[in-house]
Structure 1
Amino acid sequence: MQDAQTHPLTPQDCLVALMIAISASDQNVRTAELVKIETSVNMLPIFADYDTDRIRGMTELVFSLFEQEEGLDALFGLIRDNLPERLFETAYALACDVAAADGTLGEEELRLLEEIRYELDIDRLHAAAIERGARARHLPA
């Protein structure tokens, strides 16, 4: 991956990084979560021009940051620096979808979602609506 200092992350990179982060937050990346990330990148208009080869680099970046003591803060710094505010709710919605994809929300995922809400300054009412939509989309048959 190219150096993030000289080649800043694209907004789409930020969205992918957050989806990977929520999936990895419980140290158990599940197939359903990976499928949700891949489907989101392949189907959503925000990713229409996104080079899917960059997903590997974003995965490496997130895992590298998670190995560092202040890695989550560094990740949020990159997100704040490179994700336009108009996409903050989109980022939260994508994170909720990935978290809900396997049908369970662990303590680590809930904690990271709370941190994302805080860092992206997502209004409580908007967050509740986004979370309810994610739950509704991922209910078992």
Structure 2
Amino acid sequence: MTDAAFTAQDSLVALMITVSASDATIRTSELLTIQAIVNHLPIFAAFDQDRLEGIAQTVFDLLEEEDGLDAIFGLVRAALPATHYETAYALACDVAAADGNVFQAELELLREIRYEFDIDPLHAAAIERGSRARHMKL
């Protein structure tokens, strides 16, 4: 998959995979969350799920490079309208919270996403709280 071929939906998936891979362990709960998000949210209605593997490989390849995270942010910015940056952040938060624990590497990546996409701190807090509430365990 070439960088120029990323759609808006591809960029959202790439960001979710990046969050999942951020702590060097891709957990089943995170993969299931990504799959559920892709299967059920209206923003993915026209998404071709056959693209998942290629997107994941692109993310993994980029994360091995020195400035790979910056490249991923660039891909997201190029493909996703700024009006959907909060959506991207919400999906990233849901993946981070999927296993019931948000690890330091995930927290740092979420902070970087907030910065890169200029997410208002109050909006970020509300998004984070919603993700936490959705992923609480009894």
Normalized against structure 1, the TM-score is what? 0.96
Counterpart Cα distance in 2 of 1:55 and 1:126: 29
Give 1:34 deviation, angstroms: 0.2
| Residue 94 (structure 1) aligned with residue 85 (structure 2) | no
Counterpart Cα distance in 2 of 1:18 and 1:72: 10
Aligned to 2:3: 4
Counterpart Cα distance in 2 of 1:84 and 1:73: 17
Identity score, percent: 62
Where in structure 2 are the equivalents of 1:1-141 lying within 5 Å?
A: 1=1, 3-5=2-4, 7=5, 9-141=6-138
Counterpart Cα distance in 2 of 1:77 and 1:19: 15
Counterpart Cα distance in 2 of 1:28 and 1:140: 21
Secondary structure in 1 aligned to 2:75? Answer: helix
Counterpart Cα distance in 1 of 2:47 and 2:71: 23
Give 1:4 deviation, angstroms: 2.1
Give 1:86 deviation, angstroms: 1.1
Task: Looking at secondary structure, tell me which structure has more helix per residue.
Answer: 2
| Stretches of structure 2 lacking an aligned partner (at least 5 in a row) | none
Normalized against structure 2, the TM-score is what? 0.98
Counterpart Cα distance in 2 of 1:75 and 1:48: 23
| Stretches of structure 1 lacking an aligned partner (at least 5 in a row) | none
| Pairs aligned (count) | 138
RMSD: 0.7
